[in-house]
């Protein structure tokens, strides 16, 4: 187990990458080069010291060349500010406030996701995923538009609903939305909630619950369209929007900027948390399996399907709610290229996965950050941030230890 180093000021934590490692299940990456400096240490340091947010759940750039950051607060507000270390409270604007239509009845409900398409600079359209007060126990994915006269302000009355999913219970809502390198919108929904998948949704292709969807959206499309190459378009009884299934509750997923791989953190039931690399038509096993292990009381695996095991997992003794992260592709830290970061929300533990050069991964436990890590995020350049319920935003970096 890697040990944390608590020798930095209160807003930073240095975590050393030098101790025990363990090989993990095979995948296909081959682009990691070991750092030249063996004394390099990963750091998680407060990025904008004067800024605080109320239960922030996500951070992203818009990709429009303006180098701004957008932070989601769970109660239904999106803030925007310039991506500068010296940013002040006066530089922060409310980009969108839909708190009146965002349901926060239960801990996992709220404003859950935000993404900008590649043509945002021209179209002004962006997408959010939230729990609706107008439709009780429903998850809504909607399109909004920026104010034509103020790029730091969106029009809350411009909402166009893309799709709606009824949530049988108030937990396991999923929440992540993002555009893939193919230009399609990917959407994560949990299995419907309660516990143990009582609806048996994970292996059921007639429901969006327990799935990642892939759809085509644009301001010219009313709602959405189903791409012809989705894996279950031609299967009787299956929802054509489904891209992958057998998932319990994917809270955060992310595309690797370099190769398009889709990484997801799937929150476990009683024993294991897992990291998956999502592929077209993939079955990730829930609730026949929990991570790589047979789940007691689960249904039979869907006929003809093969369980794709996770590339990483950890037991409940090490955490109870995985927060999926990103593969680092920023320009500032070459030694981190190809490194996937993930965390546990409750324990605050941070991990990395690096390709081992033989088709598998090496996992490193970097120790506990003492933060409730709700999400990770990237800016437009690909620099990586940690979002947590200590109300601040931290930046991932590399420091050099003094021998």
Nearest to 132 by CA among 157, 156, 111, 149: 111
- What does the pLDDT read at residue 248? 96
**Tally of domains in the chain:** 1
pLDDT tens, 127-144?
999 999 998 889 999 999
Question: What residue spans of 124-170 are helical by DSSP H?
Answer: none
Residue burial 209-234, b: 16+ Cβ < 10 Å; e: rest: bbbbbbbebeeeeeebebbeebbbee
pLDDT-derived band at 21, boundaries 50, 70, 90: very low
Is-contact 303 342, C-beta < 8 A? no
What pLDDT score was predicted for residue 78?
98
- The domain that holds 116 is classified in CATH as 2.120.10.30
Residue 108's domain comprises 4-400
Q: What is the three-class DSSP state of 6?
A: coil
Distances (CA, A) of 106 to 75, 197, 222, 350: 11, 18, 31, 26
pLDDT in tens, 361-393: 999 999 999 999 999 999 999 999 999 998 789
List all residues 6 or more positions away from 19 whose beta carbon is below 8 Å from its beta carbon: 1, 2, 3, 364
Q: How far apart are CA 182 and CA 192, in angstroms?
A: 28
Taking only the tens place, the pLDDT of each residue in 26-84 is 333 332 222 344 346 899 999 999 999 999 999 999 999 999 999 999 999 999 999 99
Asked whether the predicted pLDDT for residue 17 surpasses 90, the reply is no
Average pLDDT over residues 188-194: 95
What are 197-234's pLDDT values in tens digits?
999 999 999 999 999 999 999 999 999 999 999 999 99
**The whole model's pTM is what?**
0.90
pLDDT in tens, 143-190: 999 999 999 999 999 999 999 999 998 889 999 999 999 999 999 999
Whole-angstrom distance, CA of residue 13 vs CA of residue 10: 8
């Amino acid at each position: 187990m890697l040990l944390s180093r608590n020798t930095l000021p209160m807003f930073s934590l240095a975590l050393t990458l030098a101790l025990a490692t363990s090989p993990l299940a095979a995948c296909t990456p081959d682009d990691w080069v070991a750092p030249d400096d063996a004394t390099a240490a990963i750091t998680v340091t407060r990025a904008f010291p004067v800024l605080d947010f109320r239960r922030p759940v996500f951070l992203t750039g818009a990709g429009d060349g303006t180098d701004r950051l957008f932070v989601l607060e769970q109660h239904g507000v999106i803030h925007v500010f310039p991506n500068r270390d010296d940013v002040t409270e006066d530089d922060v604007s409310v980009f969108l406030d839909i708190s009146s239509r965002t349901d926060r009845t239960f801990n996992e409900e709220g404003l859950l996701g935000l993404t900008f398409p590649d043509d945002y600079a021209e179209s002004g359209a962006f997408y959010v995923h939230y729990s609706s007060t107008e439709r009780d126990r429903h998850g809504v994915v909607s399109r909004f538009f920026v104010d034509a006269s103020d790029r730091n302000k969106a029009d809350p009355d411009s909402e166009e609903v893309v799709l709606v999913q009824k949530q049988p219970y108030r937990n396991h809502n999923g929440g992540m939305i993002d555009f893939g390198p193919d230009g399609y919108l990917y959407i994560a929904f949990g299995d419907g909630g309660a516990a143990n998948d009582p609806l048996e949704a994970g292996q059921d292709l007639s429901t969006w619950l327990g799935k990642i969807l892939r759809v085509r959206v644009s301001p010219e499309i009313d709602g959405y369209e189903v791409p012809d190459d989705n894996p279950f378009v031609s299967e009787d009884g299956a929802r054509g929007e489904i891209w992958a299934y057998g998932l319990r509750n994917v809270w955060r997923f992310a595309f690797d900027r370099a190769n398009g791989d889709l990484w997801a953190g799937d929150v476990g039931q009683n024993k294991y948390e897992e990291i998956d690399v999502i592929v077209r038509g993939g079955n990730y096993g829930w609730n026949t399996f929990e991570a790589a292990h047979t789940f007691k009381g689960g249904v039979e695996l869907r006929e003809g399907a093969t369980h794709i095991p996770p590339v990483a997992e950890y037991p409940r003794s090490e955490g109870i709610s995985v927060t999926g992260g990103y593969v680092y592709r920023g320009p500032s830290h070459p030694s981190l290229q190809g490194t996937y970061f993930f965390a546990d929300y409750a324990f605050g533990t941070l991990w990395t996965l690096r390709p081992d050069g033989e088709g598998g991964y090496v996992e490193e436990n970097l120790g506990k950050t003492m933060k409730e890590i709700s999400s990770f995020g990237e800016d437009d350049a690909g620099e990586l941030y940690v979002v947590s319920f200590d109300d601040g935003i931290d930046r991932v970096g590399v420091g050099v230890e003094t021998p």
